[in-house]
Amino acid sequence: MENLTSELTSSMTLGFSSILTILVSMVLGLILGCLIAVIYKRNYRGVMYSNNFALTLVMMTLITTPVVLCIRNSIALSMGMVGALSIVRFRTAVKDPLDTAYMFWALTTGILLGAGQFLLTAVTVVVIGIMLTVLVNLKTKPMSSYLLVVRMAEEADRPFAQLMNGVKTSKLKSKNFSAAGVEVTYELTTEKPDQLMAKVRSLRGVADATLVSYQGEAI
């Protein structure tokens, strides 16, 4: 009991050097967290950019840093923190898998700062930022994903299916039959959407055709 009391008393006593370390770590956490958020914003390729997620990256870095500062010299606090975190359940859905990488990046930065590895933290942030920017902006062959929705008469079903069989990266998602005819939805990738739509509309029996840009995985 005396050992526990002395340990808690010593952990509550902060010298000038400890306070300076905390302030430096938190300031660096804020700077590096903002840098990660800026890189996320510049490299974002989705449909709707979220300012809240960018702010979350900054807060994750700031929150992780003092947690690691608190537990790095105390086994008792480390075990207590693990037990506390084990009962926390996060239900926020991550829409883009790349967002998970940014979250782990922010957490890792906070952990390294809290552990006092300032040089390793700086090198890690710079290297990951450069590599991520290069990979995201790497020029690749343009191939956009689309959803093709076509409403047509039943006699156009077979010719349309033959046309879609000629598109290598196409996949039937749904097909509905009704008194008005047939409605089909295809997921596909193409470099020349205008030419594909011209071929679809030229088929006899096609009443309506809609091509929607689709932010999904490439087939």
- For residues 169 and 187, the answer to whether their CB atoms sit within 8 Å is no
What residues contact residue 2 under an 8 Å CB cut-off, 6+ apart? none
Rounded to a whole number of angstroms, the distance between the first and last alpha carbons of the chain is 63
Is the pLDDT at 8 greater than 50? The verdict is no
pLDDT in tens, 145-180: 888 899 998 888 888 888 888 887 888 888 888 888
144-213 classified as CATH 3.30.565.10: no
pLDDT in tens, 15-70: 545 778 888 888 999 999 999 999 998 888 766 778 888 898 999 899 888 888 87
**Residues spanned by CATH 3.30.70.1710 within the chain?**
144-213
Band (218; pLDDT cuts 50, 70, 90): very low
Burial 134-145 (b: 16+ CB within 10 A, else e): eeeeeeeeeeeb
**pTM greater than 0.75 (yes/no):** no
